[in-house]
Amino acid sequence: MHEKKKENVPEWQHFDAAIFNKAKKEHKLVLLHLGANWCHWCHVMEEQTYTDPFVLELLNKSYIACKEDHDERQDLTSLYAAYGWPATIVFDADGNELLKEAGFISSDRFIALLKKLVKNPTPMPTDSVQIEPAVASDSSTQQALNTLKKKFYSSLDIEGGGFNYAQKYIDFETFEYAFNHSENDSILTKWLYNSVVNSAGLNDNVWGGVFQYSTHSDWNHLHYEKLLSIQARYIKMYCWYYKRFNDADALSHAESAAKYVQRFLDDPKGGFYNSQDADVTPGEKATEYFKLNNADRIKKGIPAIDKNSYTSDNAEMIEACIILSAATGNNTYLEKAVRCFDFIKKNNKTNNAYAHGSNYTNSISLKDNIAIVKSALLLYRATQDAAYKSEALRIIQEVAGTFYSKKGYMISFIGNSPIKGSYNITENIEACRLLNYCSHVFNEPKYKILAQTIFGFLTNENLVKTMSTEPGILSAYEELNTEPLKAVLMIKNGTELKTDFLNSSLSFPAFYFDNTIYTSTTIPSDKYELFDSFDKNFIVACTASYCSSPMFSKDGFEKFIYRRAFSTK
């Protein structure tokens, strides 16, 4: 091992729009170290590999070394998430990728790679599948769906829960599809149960909160970072599982994660902080630390908090707070969701869209703006404040008009970035489903047409071949071929049923669902006769062409919507 001089580090540059011009002038390659504040192996590589004098010599001579935080740079994350973290990408001066490496790289191996690239700077073949827009046939679409369904089932660890990969965690889209189809599928029922029960191994039993994942194909080898987005995901999943199966442990896990967020990630100004580091001392594994009780942890110090507030992660937490508020009846979570939305709108909105954060606004990402629309629509459903619905409409108009590539997919980011925006499959699935949902919410057919176009791109056989598992595409197909159920509370007098209706609707475990309240001044003309049929408040569930019989109790309403949702899949 080479002798280290830890006081020496690369002359890190920002990876900005001018970096390739600088590389051309200096006849150098560009190296991008894309890490995260919370990432243990990023710390290790920065402490060991990047302080090696031989590495530094090579970097200074032949490279411009750039370092960025992937949490801050959504434009980079959308393209390189599969290679992190840390992700190491090397470019030539024209911006062509020469190398993409995932994870920690030792000094000796890194030196060999750096020398090899200087000697032979050959661009890598692109890993983006080039697909021209085309009208897919029914048979080709069905073939793609069959392939995706097989991949979905083969990805599951039925006995152990989670995926049958080395990393153990629950992915939301996988959970959602299994959740929606488990009623008549014993395999998915078993997988759901084992996943939820075993995921408790990711929970911090002292401070609460959920660690990001475990390795070694079990739930016992933890990576100790805690990300806001991870807390939001598990709060939502645990609440859904609780509501569907009346599992008190699941609700307890959700509340524990929320208490952790309140203690460590709650920004008094209104938003939420981004994450907490995996390490107490950067680069040193914290396994023994996380075995300690609260008092002993405090004595040794607290892992650093990244106090940035990013749009997509905060929007996801807004959703989680609303759902948890409805599941528990604790209105303080809803109040926090309202404050958080106001905070993000004040600090991260720029012109007609939302930037990822307040520090880096050179590019605007699809992911952030999709997340904002979803959170605004859920806030509208929770508060019936039309301002949220209006904001959602403004942003979905921007998404549809600005991010569409005219090649069948949505571009992951726009703006002044050193690299060209391309497609991100996960973001396109989200966009497809949201645009279709918005076509119903806003009665705007063009959003459904765009959603269908994106779906055609996502089910192209050449693209499907590259996927491991994408159950969100299966969910998108079902949603594109039906309409969301809409629950309506008709208020005749006072507020009877209002609280129960909102809590039942907002905690109902489904994305493709809507709820609203009508009074004598807001009832649409086609519902006049129905509204006047009863003297007391009542609930109906409607589609465009149908309304259920009236329901006069919370229990009757919940029995109806749960039976309709989970007995027909």
Q: Give the integer Cα–Cα distance in Å for 65 and 62.
A: 9
pLDDT recorded at residue 3: 39
Predicted confidence band of residue 138 (pLDDT cuts 50, 70, 90):
confident
User: Is pLDDT of 432 > 70?
Assistant: yes
pLDDT digits (tens, 9 = 90+) for 502-560: 999 999 999 999 999 999 999 999 899 999 999 999 999 998 888 999 999 999 999 99
Among residues 66, 100, 119, which one ends one of the domains? 119
Q: What is the DSSP letter of 304?
A: P
User: What CATH number did the domain enclosing 88 receive?
Assistant: 3.40.30.10
On whether residue 200 sits in a domain, the answer given is no
Q: What pLDDT sits at residue 163?
A: 98
Flag whether 99 is in a domain. Answer: yes
Computed over its alpha carbons, how large is the radius of gyration of the chain? 25
Amino acid letter, residue 491? I
pLDDT by residue (tens digit) across 26-62?
Answer: 999 999 999 999 999 999 999 999 999 999 999 999 9
Q: Give Cα separations from 547 to 303, 312, 495, 539, 541 (angstroms).
A: 53, 35, 22, 10, 6
pLDDT of residue 135: 54
Residue 515 inside a domain? The answer is: yes
In terms of pLDDT, which residue wins out, 152 or 79?
152
Q: What is the pTM of this model?
A: 0.94
Q: How do residues 366-408 score in pLDDT, each as one tens digit?
A: 999 999 999 999 999 999 999 999 999 999 999 999 999 999 9
What digits encode the pLDDT tens for the residues 177-231? 999 999 999 999 999 999 999 999 999 999 999 999 999 999 999 999 999 999 9
Here the CATH number for the domain that contains residue 492 is 3.40.30
Q: Which residue among 86, 119, 152 closes a domain?
A: 119
SS3 33: strand
User: Residue 366 has what pLDDT?
Assistant: 98
- Six-digit token pair at 534? 């009863």
All residues at 6 or more sequence positions from 421 whose CB lies less than 8 Å from its CB, including other chains: 75, 78, 363, 411, 412, 413, 414
Q: How many domains does the chain have?
A: 2
Task: Indicate whether 302 pLDDT > 70.
Answer: yes
CA quadruple 161, 163, 169, 170: dihedral sign: negative
Average pLDDT of the chain is 94
User: Is the omega angle on the peptide bond into residue 484 within 30 degrees of 0, that is, cis?
Assistant: no
Domain-located, residue 209 = no
pLDDT of residue 137 exceeding 80: no
> Closest Cα partner for 209 from 275, 269, 272?
275
Let me know if residue 75 belongs to a domain: yes
Structure confidence by residue, pLDDT tens digits, 252-273: 999 999 999 999 999 999 999 9
Distance CA 297, CA 91 (A): 43
Q: Cis peptide before 12, with omega less than 30 degrees from 0?
A: no
d(Cα 168, Cα 200) in Å, to the nearest integer? Answer: 11
Q: Yes or no: say if 550 and 534 are a contact pair by the CB < 8 Å rule.
A: yes
Q: Which helix (H) or strand (E) holds 447?
A: helix 445-458
Residues 345-350: contacts with CB under 8 Å, at least 24 apart = 345/391, 346/270, 347/271, 347/309, 348/309, 348/310, 348/311
Cα separation, 74 vs 369, whole angstroms:
12
**pLDDT in the model for residue 125:** 84
Predicted pLDDT at 567: 74
CB 78 within 8 A of CB 410: no
Q: Determine the pLDDT at residue 2.
A: 40
**279: CB partners within 8 A, 6+ apart:** 40, 43, 224, 285, 286, 303
Q: Taking 80 as the threshold, does the pLDDT of residue 90 lie above it?
A: yes
Would you state the pLDDT for residue 420?
87
Q: What's the confidence (pLDDT) of residue 132?
A: 59
Q: Of 96, 119, 142, which one is at a domain's C-terminal end?
A: 119
Quick check: is 206 in a domain? no
* Confidence (pLDDT) at 5: 42
Residue 232 has φ and ψ, to the nearest 5°, of -60, -45
pLDDT of residue 546: 86
Give the residue-averaged pLDDT of 77-85.
89
Comparison of pLDDT for 497 and 131, the residue scoring more: 497
Which structural domain range is residue 521 located in?
A: 485-566
Whether 411 is covered by a domain: the verdict is no
Q: 380 in a domain, yes or no? A: no
| pLDDT surpasses 50 at 4 | no
SS3 569: coil
The encoded tokens of residue 166 equal 């080395």
Please say whether the beta carbons of 58 and 401 come within 8 A: no
Split at pLDDT 50, 70, 90, the class of 82 is confident
Q: Say whether 64 sits in a helix, a strand or coil.
A: strand
